[in-house]
Structure 1
């Protein structure tokens, strides 16, 4: 079963008519051979003078204030299109991250907004302490690009301590897991990484983690993950923990989730406009997954 040409065109039309510029540029990069430079400029539209990224890089807030998570998202997006290099990371990103590092050595997930802008309720009560997901992702990227700076030593101690403390508690969050993987795949401590990777794989395949009802509106969204949330392309490090039948079943489930206007939907959004932005994000993600598994008609 594959996405038909007609349904691909519907998805394309939905993205071009409704998604943010960043998703439109990413679509152009992944499906039209577009420029990574265009993605760079779309990402940097969210950048502040302090080097952090704000302005709703995640559509649940319209606040311009810099946020650690948004800055991580910016790094990850530039990495996705091959635009990152050591010099850019050192000069454009690390001054901000070093300025928000906590005494424990990690960086927070989010800060509570200090200005009056529309935002989701969960932003108003966020815990501002250091977080595993953001810190591990940043460390993994630094290791990937062969960067060695003093900041990393205490940050790595924090990440290992958090992995031991949290263990399986974040496995249901398919947005947190790849950030932990980023660190485990690139850290120099291969012995500890192998043990942590083995544990992570066992936790993911444990009963109750994968959500197996594609008819549920939340299937594949936050807290209700399927196999493709963890293995979004065939040569992903987590792909072997899922059977071929599971992957194929979830691909079929994804295909059946497409709406008549071409979108794949979410329940996220603080307004009708941001719901469309989230749908643009989800639609692009789905198209990338389907493409990687050869599930789009030529």
Structure 2
């Protein structure tokens, strides 16, 4: 049984509708519109996304991070011309901190079911590169114009300029920003300055367990930025193929705080891993 057939069986048994329909649209001649209609159900009247689109945020209300999840789905479907995008940008504008970025998580998360790491820094949290930088990156990638984007781009530049050491998740936000932001000379200069700091957060041992961050987490598709050599990528692509479970999916490697999220993340990761394998010519 091949990789796609096994993945389809896993998603049929365990996957959320959004992940099954996205898989179908990308790999099984399914309807792109049906996948977009499923995503639309997670969008709130304020333009933000909630309803556990990010599985560790179970509340119905909008948060910045589920917008990133939605943007990744829209990116995979090449659907940044969908009306969901300007509505989401309107939402981001409405929750932007005074510094020009959106917070990691908003205080409205309190009183909803969520993983312990989704805790607001304060009652008035500042902007954060997570998820601002990734949101900005995807909007630039697709040539979107919106009033939120310019100040948010400036915020990212200002925060990145202060970075000397970083964390895995912040590094994973900075790389797509530097990959897609239009000012290429500035992006390449910052990448050259920060490359070693980013690589310090990468787990190069493909057999490592636990909350590891592997090269393909930083480069889920080929980059123009010279972050990894071909041999490193090939080693980790082999490891991704080998990591497909007997059920046909890919399992998350971070703590599962409630049983439901294991397969919700599993379905999301399965679609993401398949996209990575295809982007590198392995499907």
TM-score of Structure 1 vs Structure 2, range by shorter chain: 0.7 to 0.9
Which residue number corresponds to residue 228 of structure 1?
A: 216
Which residue number corresponds to residue 257 of structure 1?
A: 243
1:120-155 C-alpha deviation (Å, 9 max, x unpaired)? 112235553201132223333443444555544433
Distance 1:167 1:36, change over 3 A: farther
SS of the counterpart of 1:166? Answer: coil
- Most deviating of 122-131 and 43-52: 122-131
Aligned mates of 2:84, 2:59 — CA distance in 1 = 25
Which residue number corresponds to residue 31 of structure 2?
A: 35
1:143–1:186 CA contact under 8 A, matched in 2: yes
Show the 5 A alignment for 1:51-70.
Answer: 51-70=47-66
Which residue number corresponds to residue 227 of structure 2?
A: 241
Gaps of 5+ in 1: none
Show the 5 A alignment for 1:64-213.
Answer: 64-85=60-81, 89-90=85-86, 92-114=87-109, 116-126=111-121, 128-170=125-167, 172-173=168-169, 176-177=170-171, 179-205=173-199, 208-213=200-205
1:37–1:83 CA contact under 8 A, matched in 2: no
1:257–1:264 CA contact under 8 A, matched in 2: yes
Deviation at 1:216, TM superposition (A): 3.1
1:61–1:119 CA contact under 8 A, matched in 2: yes
Q: Check if 1:287 corresponds to 2:274.
A: yes
Q: Check if 1:277 corresponds to 2:253.
A: no
1:54–1:67 CA contact under 8 A, matched in 2: yes
TM-score where L is the length of structure 1: 0.82
SS of the counterpart of 2:9? Answer: helix
Deviation at 1:156, TM superposition (A): 2.9
Gaps of 5+ in 2: none
CA-based RMSD of the aligned residues comes to 2.6
Distance 1:12 1:36, change over 3 A: same
1:16-62 C-alpha deviation (Å, 9 max, x unpaired)? 21011111112112211323212211211111111110111111121
Distance 1:161 1:11, change over 3 A: same
TM-score where L is the length of structure 2: 0.86
Deviation at 1:261, TM superposition (A): 1.8
- Most deviating of 242-251 and 181-190: 181-190
Which of 40, 43, 66 is equivalent to 1:44?
A: 40
Q: Which has the higher contact order (CA 8 A, sep 6+)?
A: 1
SS of the counterpart of 1:122? Answer: coil
| Count of residue pairs the alignment pairs up | 280
SS of the counterpart of 1:271? Answer: coil
